[in-house]
Amino acid sequence: MARISHLWAHPEINPLNKKARSIPFLNPVTDRYGRVFFFSWFGFMIAFWSWYAFPPLLADVIAGDIGMKSYQVANSNIIALTATLIVRLIAGPCCDHFGPRLTFAGCLLAGAVPTFLAGCVNNASGLYALRFFIGILGGSFVPCQVWTTGFFDKNVVGTANALTGGLGNLGGGITYFVMPAVYNSLVQNQNIAPHKAWRISFVVPGILIVFVAACLLLLCDDTPTGHWSSRVTAAEDTLRRQSVTTVDIQGSITDAPLPEKDTTPGTPISEKDQSKSWKDAEAQDSPLQKIDTARGEIIQKPSASNILRVMFSLQTLVPAACYFCTFGAELAINSILGNYYMKNFPALGLQQTGNWAAMFGLLNGVTRPLGGFVSDLAYRKAGSVWAKKVVLHTYSILAGVFLILIGVLDSKSQATMFGLVAAMAFFLEGGNGADFGLVPHVHPHANGVVSGFTGAAGNFGGIVFAIIFRYNGKAYGKVFWIIGVMTIGINLAVSWIRPVPKGQIGGR
C-alpha cells in the first residue's frame, strides 16, 4: 500500500532542490506538488482543446457557412501551427526570465481573446487571422513542461512531463467529441440556427481557459521554494546549509520510505546504503559533488548570447530533431486522419470516421506517459542519461517502421488499418514522452530555452508534414511512408551525439 499511497500522499522531497520524488497524482487539493501537477496537465488540455476546436466543425459546418474551399481549410491548419511555433520559441526564454507559471497564464489569457472572437469570422481571411492568434494556446505546452520539471526530481521527471503532456494532448481527442456535441445541442435542443450555433460553441472553451488561468495565478506557486524572483537566493541558502551536512538523496517513485540515517557532518554513506540509492549518475558522487550538481541546475536569467548558444548546441538538436519527427507527425496526422479513414472506409460515415480518428489523440493518455515512464526506468536501471537517449531513438525508429507499413499497405481492412495506427501511435506518442524525459538533463540551467526550442521543432515538423500532405492530395498512404523514412533517417543521423555536453555539472 505504501507504493499506491504515493498517488495521494505528500511526496518525499529532495533536500537539495526541494523537488518531489514521487507524483501525488490524486491530491491536487492539499498538496502543492499535486496542485501544480494537476493544473499543468489540465491547463494544457483545455488549451489544446481550444487550439484544435476548429477541425471537428471546420470541413462541414464552418467551411460551408463562410464559403471556404478545401485548400483554404488546409491552409488554416498550417497557419495555426505556424503561430504556435513562433510562440513556443518565445515562451522558452520567457519561462527562464519570468517563470513558467506566469508564462503559462499569459499564454492562456492571450489565447482566450481570439477564442471568444471566433463568432466574428465571416470569410477565409478572417479565419486565417483568428486561427493564427488562437495558435498562441499551443505555446502553453512549453511552460507546462518547464513548470513540471521545476517541481519533480530527476527520478520521476520524465514520467511527470509525459503525464502532463499526454493528458494535455487528450484535448486533441476530446475536442472531436465535445465541439460537435455542443454544436448539436445548440441546434437540436436550443433551436439555434447552425450559422449561429457554431459561433456560440466557442464560448465554452473560452470560459474554461480564463478560469484555469485564474487558478494558476491564485492557487499555485512558481517554484518549490516560492516566488520566481527569489529562486536563486532560496536555492543558494538551501545548498549552503546542506554543504555542511552529508546528504543522502535516496528514493524513487516506487520506493517505500527509507529509515532515518545518521546525517551528522562527516558521516560516510555505507556501501549498503549506496546500493539502495537511485541508480543514476549521482549515486556515487560525494555530498559536495551532489551540491555542485544541484547548483548547476538552478535556472539562470537568459541572455541573448546564451539563448543562441543553448539553442544551437548539438545536445539541444537531439530532442528537437526527434520531436520534429514524433510530435510533428502527430500534429499532421491529427488533421487528416478522419479524411484518410473516410477515403478508405466510406461506409463508416462522418461520425464513425471522426470517432476512430479521435482515438489517435486519446491514446496520448496512455502512450505518452508510458514513454516517459520507460525513459525514467531505463535511467534508474542503467545510471546514465545515455539510457534515456537509447529509449528515445528506439521509440522513434519503431514509429517510423509502422508509418512505413501503414503507407505501403494502405489497407482497406478496418482491423488492419486501425491496428497499425494504434501500434504506430504507441511508439509515436510514446516517443514524445521519452523526448521530454531527456530534455530536463540537457542544459538544465536553461531548461525553458531547451523546452521551447524542442517544442517549436515539433510544430515545425507539423508544418512540414502538413505541407507534404497538402501537395499530395488524397494520396495519404504515400505521405505516411515518406514521414516514416524521414523519421528513421533523422534519428539515425543524430544518434551519435552525446546526450549531455562534456564537462557539464548539472543534468547528469
Which string of DSSP letters, residue by residue, matches 457-470?
A: HHHHHHHHHHHHHH
pLDDT at 243: 63
pLDDT at 256: 36
pLDDT at 508: 62
Q: Looking at the predicted structure, is the pLDDT value of residue 126 above 80?
A: yes
pLDDT at 272: 38
DSSP line for 46-103: HHHHHHTSSHHHIIIIIHHHHT--HHHHHHHHHHHHHHHHHHHHHHHHHHHHH-HHHH
Q: How far is residue 322's CA from residue 338's CA, in Å, rounded to a whole number? A: 25
Lowest mean pLDDT segment, chosen from 173-177, 280-284, 407-411: 280-284
pLDDT at 507: 61
pLDDT at 244: 53
For residue 249, name the pLDDT band (cuts at 50, 70, 90): very low
Lowest mean pLDDT segment, chosen from 179-188, 323-332, 352-361: 352-361
- Identity of the amino acid at 312: F
Please tell me which residue, 126 or 275, carries the higher pLDDT value. 126
Burial class of residue 331 in the structure, from the number of CB atoms within 10 Å of its CB (0-12 exposed, 13-18 middle, 19+ buried): buried
Cell numbers standing for residue 37: 501537477
* Alpha helix stretches (DSSP H) within 220-296: 231-242, 271-276, 287-295
Q: How far is residue 219's CA from residue 238's CA, in Å, rounded to a whole number? A: 24
pLDDT at 286: 57
Q: How far is residue 390's CA from residue 499's CA, in Å, rounded to a whole number? A: 10
Contact 447, 149 (CB under 8 A): yes
User: How crowded is residue 489: how many other Cβ atoms within 10 Å of its Cβ?
Assistant: 12
For residue 504, name the pLDDT band (cuts at 50, 70, 90): confident
pTM over the 0.75 mark: yes
Output the CA torsion 261→262→265→266 (10° steps). -90
Q: Looking at the predicted structure, is the pLDDT value of residue 350 above 80?
A: no
Output the CA torsion 173→34→152→237 (10° steps). 150
Which residues have C-beta within 8 Å of that of residue 387, sequence separation ≥ 6?
378, 379, 381
Q: How far is residue 316's CA from residue 253's CA, in Å, rounded to a whole number? A: 27
Q: Tens digits of per-residue pLDDT, 196-217? A: 999 999 999 999 999 999 999 9
Q: Tens digits of per-residue pLDDT, 410-463? A: 999 999 999 999 999 999 999 999 999 999 999 998 999 999 999 999 999 999
- Identity of the amino acid at 348: L
Q: How far is residue 407's CA from residue 420's CA, in Å, rounded to a whole number? A: 10
Q: Looking at the predicted structure, is the pLDDT value of residue 2 above 70?
A: no
Q: Looking at the predicted structure, is the pLDDT value of residue 381 above 60?
A: yes
For residue 246, name the pLDDT band (cuts at 50, 70, 90): very low
Please tell me which residue, 445 or 74, carries the higher pLDDT value. 445
The pLDDT > 70 percentage for the chain reads 87
Question: Which residue matches cell numbers 507527425?
Answer: 329
Q: What is the rounded radius of gyration, in angstroms, for the C-alpha atoms of the chain?
A: 23
Question: Which residue matches cell numbers 541572455?
Answer: 303
pLDDT at 240: 73
Q: Looking at the predicted structure, is the pLDDT value of residue 475 above 50?
A: yes
For residue 5, name the pLDDT band (cuts at 50, 70, 90): confident
Q: Looking at the predicted structure, is the pLDDT value of residue 97 above 70?
A: yes
Contact 153, 250 (CB under 8 A): no
Cell numbers standing for residue 284: 556515487
Contact 431, 477 (CB under 8 A): no
- Domains of the chain listed by start with CATH number: 28-223+303-494 (1.20.1250.20)
pLDDT at 69: 86
Q: How far is residue 280's CA from residue 236's CA, in Å, rounded to a whole number? A: 23
**What is the rounded average pLDDT for all residues in the chain?**
86
